[in-house]
Amino acid sequence: MKQKLEEIRERARAELEAASVVEDIEALRIKYAGKKGELTNILKQMGKLSPEERPVVGQLANEVRSFIENAVEKKKAELAEAMLEKQLEEEKLDVTLPADVTPLGHKHPLSIVLDEIKEIFVGMGFEIVDGPEVEYDYYNFEALNIPKDHPARDTQDTFYITDNILLRTQTSPVQVRVMEKQKPPIRIISPGRVFRSDAVDATHSPLFHQIEGLVVDKDITFADLKGTLETFIKRLYGEESVVRFRPHHFPFTEPSAEVDVQCFSCKGKGCRVCKNEGWIEILGCGMVHPKVLENCGIDPEVYSGFALGLGLERVAMRRYGVDDMRLFFDNDTRFLSQFE
């Protein structure tokens, strides 16, 4: 039995020295010193020994068990230290290497153009206001002289949430909300997102941005509207810009007009950019309809005003020569990086 105990010690020593992973070491501990290990099996046979031999074999068995347990802990510590050294070697940092350059973000092209438009209007004394994107039918249509049976509703592909609540199709509802709460003089612009059930293509999107403008005061005329828009367009596109007004119809303005700017490419001669018309449509405008003023509690006999609305994407496309508005929403860094 002494010989078997010595053999267990030597085999355990050899196998522990050869072990290279912690899992193998634990398996060896169980094999030799576990409850069903070889050392336990030897001790179960001590009943066959004489009273004189039992203390001697018992002491040797305890020494072997202690040796195995100490050897296991020592080997685990050696492997842990080796693994740490390997990890430190693999993860060492050369502080002399140049640092990675983290690219800085920059404004989106729509934000660049919007900020410039805001700056122009603020410079002319306008305030910037905001309104809800989820709107009541009353503010989006009825208060703007577009009742439920009005044919203009047929051209508005509207996202309805309920019969009376919708995603706004224009930023004009902000005008109504401002006029209800604030008495003239009023001079505001309202940029924001609007929603229409349009199929996505190069010039249409179910989500786009509008900038609404409103001025209400005593003795406001169409001449004030023309002067404001000419100043705005010349500051936006350059002093050499040529502007024209064309009669149009909007339910909430009377008279109404669409505003064109002479093509920057051909100077009015006609080319691919302007579809051979020589002019590029920029925005719609007009004098606020007296009924809209009445709906907001403003006396049209005392006050008058003008309103204007332009699409931010359209202005940005003209500014940068972009022919597909989807590029503004795709988040392709190859496209956006051009506007740093």
Q: ∠ CA 200-205-207 to the nearest 5 degrees?
A: 140
| Shared-domain flag, residues 180 and 66 | no
How far apart, in Å, do the first and last CA atoms of the chain sit? 85
Q: Specify the number of domains making up the chain.
A: 2
- Average model confidence (pLDDT) for the chain? 86
> Quick one: 153 and 224 in the same domain?
yes
Does one domain contain both 334 and 297? yes
Residue 96 located in a structural domain: no
Q: Do residues 275 and 247 make contact, with C-beta atoms less than 8 angstroms apart?
A: no
Q: How far apart are CA 244 and CA 256, in angstroms?
A: 13
In the chain, % of residues over pLDDT 90: 45
Model's pTM, two decimal places?
0.67
Residue 178, phi then psi, degrees to nearest 5: -70, -45
Given this model, what pLDDT does residue 11 score? 78
- The last residue of a domain, from among 63, 90, 117: 90
* 129 and 64 inside one domain: no
Q: Say if CB 167 and CB 311 are below 8 A apart.
A: no
Residue 100 domain flag = no
Residue 132 CA to residue 218 CA, distance in Å, equals: 28
In whole angstroms, what is the distance from residue 22 CA to residue 72 CA? 9
For residue 192, name the pLDDT band (cuts at 50, 70, 90).
very high
* pLDDT exceeds cutoff 80 at 60: no
Alpha helices by DSSP H, listed for the chain, are: 2-18, 22-33, 38-43, 53-90, 109-123, 137-140, 173-181, 222-237, 290-295, 312-320, 333-336
**Domain's final residue, options 58, 90, 122:** 90
| pLDDT given at position 278 | 86
- Token couple for 158: 């509207």
Q: Residue 286: left (phi > 0), alpha (psi -120 to 50), or beta? A: left
Residue 20 lies inside a defined structural domain of this protein: yes
List the single range of 121-135, 230-244, 298-312 with lowest mean pLDDT.
230-244
Residue 89's pLDDT band (boundaries 50, 70, 90)? confident
d(CA 180, CA 164): 19
**pLDDT value at residue 147:** 85
Residue 155 — pLDDT band, cuts 50, 70, 90? low
Share of the chain above pLDDT 70, in %: 95
Residue at 149 is within a domain:
yes
What share of residues in the chain are helix, strand, coil (percent, to 5)? 45, 20, 35
Q: Which range, of 41-50, 236-245, 323-332, averages the lowest pLDDT?
A: 41-50
Mean pLDDT of 214-229: 96
Residues 171 and 246 reside in one and the same domain: yes
Say yes or no: 33 and 162 in one domain. no
Same domain, 219 and 294: yes
Whether the per-residue pLDDT at 3 is higher than 80: the answer is no
Residue 117 neighbours by CB under 8 Å, 6+ apart: 189, 191, 211, 232, 236, 312, 315
The whole-number pLDDT of residue 273 equals 66
Amino acid at the residue 146: I
Let me know whether 147 and 78 are in one domain: no
| End residue of a domain, out of 90, 120, 148 | 90
Instruction: Tell whether 136 and 42 lie within a shared domain.
Output: no
**Does residue 95 sit within a domain?**
no
Per-residue pLDDT at 75 exceeds 70: yes
Query: Which residues are within 8 A (CB) of 325 and not within 5 positions of it... i.e. 6 or more apart?
Result: 202, 203, 204, 205, 208, 313, 317
Q: Does 54 lie in the same domain as 172?
A: no
Mean pLDDT value of segment 180-200: 92
Domain that holds residue 219: 109-339
In a domain, 329, yes or no: yes
CA distances (Å), 144 to each of 132, 183, 284, in order? Answer: 16, 17, 15
Q: Exposed/middle/buried for 337, CB within 10 Å: 0-12, 13-18, 19+?
A: exposed
207 and 125 co-located in one domain: yes
Q: 114 and 66, same structural domain?
A: no
CATH number at 269 reads 3.30.930.10
